Structure 1
Amino acid sequence: MLETSARLLRLLSLLQAHREWTGADLADRLGVTPRTVRRDVDRLRELGYPVNASPGTGGGYQLGAGAELPPLLLDDDEAVAVAVGLRTAAGNGVEGIGEASVRALAKLEQVLPSRLRRRVSALNEFTVPMLRGPGRDTVDPAVLTDLAAVCRDGERLRFGYRDHGGSVSRRTVEPHRLVCSERRWYLVAWDLDREDWRTFRADRIEPRPPHGPRFVPRPAPAEDLAAYVSQGVSHRAYAARAVVRLRVPAQEAARIVGPSDGVLEPVDAESCLLRTGAVSLDVLVIHVMLIGCEFEVVEPPELTDRIRALRDLLGRAVEAPRE
């Protein structure tokens, strides 16, 4: 059994990690009796941590907003600085720390006092971030933290989803994970209406609370979710898809072909296959040409025909007499 002080810190950590716990679950995690859990909760309240309790068989304990920031004790300015920094990192999809930023932000905002939430919201509302470049749609950090929370708590999510053409459909899903790929956020979730795994762009999601009920998580669609999302967004979702053979080693191609550009497969020491896609054959031709290395089309034959047509068009443009 943990000593009282260590057990209190562990209890705080558990209350922060999950939206709500039953007394029995906390007792099991801490290795104590439910009566000891009740006494420890009372001690936390005496120390100034507002732990809410709901009665009944389905009730439990929840760390309320307005608590100190355990176990790090931050003053108001420090807490605001951390929250703003996490929002910035999450919103820009910084490679390597984006997903950790969202998880940390979800934990922090759960216990952030209302007076500090107003300061963070004001800074967020009246500052304008530099856009990251064409095609990089920003995501509201509040949406990201909401998505992270339902993934963490295993709650069903209802939302409106805007497709490429601007039409909005209603979706109900069992959220699994948030994945950041090429500075864009995706939600991997089980779509209850379509009875299959789907990948949703977070910038097109409009959550429609309340969330719930809770669900038992299904096995993930793949062990490597980053590769799963990359494959899905790079070619499976597009109307025009192709396989081309690049005349460079896979390791060299990986330095110029990003995860969202396609999936690479080594062939031999001097070449590799690229499975990719685009909204049309013309865009697909440009996409492959911009890679900047020799290639040959494996499939479809329509892509080869389109390359020939564009070659002739470009040739006439170059040979046209100047006036």
Structure 2
Amino acid sequence: MFERDKQSLRDMGVQVETFIRDSDMDDNTESRYFIPAETFVWPKGTSLTPNQLRLLELAAKVWARASFSAEASRAVMRLKALGMASEGLELAGFAPRILTNEPGILQLEEAARDRLEVTFDYRAPERSVERRVVHPWQVRHVAGQWLLVCWDVERQDVRNFMLKRIVSRIKPTGEQFEAITQAQLEDALERLRLFTLQNTAVVSVVPGTEAWVHFEMDSHAHGGSTTYEFNFMDVHLLAEQLRVFGATVTVHAPSELRDAIRSGLEKVANAHA
């Protein structure tokens, strides 16, 4: 079996293992391949109705144009292999599209899965570009931004890197790191949650504008209010997002966000003066 074929099976979640008899250790043509039954058995007593399968297929279509589209399609293929064929998706026309727009997201997901150390160039706010070497733990979507939760090798500490601030190709170093514990990951995610809660923005928008639609779609019921309060990860990235709405958005807090928006608009005005 070719290595690419084994990798294709593994990408679909099929755990292929290799067995070579002691007498054939010097001859890999005698390799035997098998799939452990316990890794490919549907949980006992679990079944999916046609409606449930259609909902899963709908979820896959939501990701159809995102970086996870191939993985979502493979997951649906495995579900169909159970014998519960889809009867057609009446809701397909209503399926939204999730766009990640982050070219490195899938590579980081794979590096986290395979415990591969990677390196990339990163531009922090108002700082020069720095080379980072990290152990990817998990890719998360937090407060409207994709970020990487990881171990920074040089700083010997947990770090969160915004994917939008990665300014180079993500390259594996060839090193593999030790698997982390669930407790380590949970601690990192709790620190991330607490950090996010410390950053709260309050804005108001003009009703009926693009900004109003943007916030109304992402918010809970406000009872007709046009003032929104939400958490954010990066004040400069948030300023970039709000700047496009111009005068239809008024920032009440924090002052750093107002300053960042004003500074960006002044730069645009000066560049076109």
The TM-score normalised by the length of structure 2 is 0.43
